[in-house]
Amino acid sequence: MVALCRHQLVHLNAAGWATVQQWPWDDEARACLAHWAAQRLPLVVTQQRDGVPDDRIALGLPAPLQWQRRRLALQVPMRGVLYCDEFPRAAEVTGLLPLRTRGAWQTLLKTLAALGVAPRVYGSFGWQRLTRLDYLHADSDLDLRLPVADAAMADAVAAALHTSAFATPRLDGEIVFPGGSAVAWREWRLWRERRADRVLVKRLRGVAMERGEAWLVEHQPC
């Protein structure tokens, strides 16, 4: 059984790609999938909704500009998984940033490292770094996956992001707790400052609006 987490990358074996490519896709989707299979590019774990069989994994392929930024949804048998991987470390996307912002970016990364956080980059920046295909456009956010140990660490991370001199592109992303529950860092900050009475918590098998803090110590799949 493959242990799944949100924003986890999955590489398929030959049998997995054969299963995916035999479905009745249109020509555009088929061309995109053929490229992914030929280049051995990963897919990403998506929400495992009710109805997905236990022997299958729900995965996604967010296509680049070349294929109209389509989002392809797939269900792949567990036996079709070769191995799992992670999105690039934050420092690995530095070369994709405008020169004028790189100093502030590196300062932010040092601040996060001092807090014990090792961010990963998903979204358009992460996919462009992984595939070398064109994902970025003028309005692309920089999406960070920020694993933390507890609420106090999450507070420090949110404060560091809020006060950072890094302004372009816009910093987005999620704070991820040990049980796998995740909250957008801006929403976390508002909730902790009591400017919101509920917070949207994302999990592998769904999302929920939470009022109290009991979910902070839950131990659910990623």
Count: domains in the chain: 2
148 and 209 assigned to the same domain? yes
Expressed as residue numbers, the domain containing 15 is 9-85
Is 55 considered catalytic here? no
Single residue among 85, 113, 135 that ends a domain in this structure:
85
130 and 164 assigned to the same domain? yes
> Residue 53: its pLDDT value, please?
84
Give me the amino acid identity at 19: T
3 located within any domain: no
**What are the C-alpha distances in Å from 108 to residues 24, 98, 150, 185?**
46, 15, 20, 15
Residue of 85, 134, 141, 150 marked catalytic: 141
The pTM (predicted TM-score) of the whole model is: 0.93
> Residue 100: its pLDDT value, please?
96
> Cα(12)–Cα(220) distance, rounded to whole angstroms?
25
115 and 182 assigned to the same domain? yes
Is 139 considered catalytic here? no
13 and 96 assigned to the same domain? no
Residue of 134, 143, 172, 197 marked catalytic: 143
Residues of the chain predicted below pLDDT 70: 1-2, 218-222
List, for residues 149-181, the tens digit of each pLDDT value.
Answer: 999 999 999 999 999 999 899 999 999 999 889
**Paired tokens of 136:** 């970025």
Contact assessment for residue 2 and residue 81, using Cβ atoms and an 8 Å cutoff: yes
